[in-house]
Amino acid sequence: WWRKSFAWRRIIRREFVGTLERSETGRWAIKTEKGRLVEITSGEVIEIEVAGYWIRSRIEHDGRDYIAMVSGVRLYRGMKARQ
């Protein structure tokens, strides 16, 4: 039964692709092509595009702002991201 449950979760999972922007709350968010803002917070895993490659990374706060932990890249407005 768990395989069916796992497969079902994968089917209904949505992928959000867009650019990083600040939301009204001050958090980083992925702005989709349709203009929807999907907020991201510490601990979430997203992929960011660096030098033409998608890098999977966990988002954390370093005391000043959010960074992508695996790559050590500081997030910036307009960076391509997907979740």
More confident call, 70 vs 35:
35
What is the pLDDT, as a whole number, of residue 1? 45
Taking the model in full, what pTM does it have? 0.76
6, 7, 10, 66 from 2: Cα distances, Å: 6, 9, 12, 35
Q: Residue 75 carries which DSSP code?
A: P
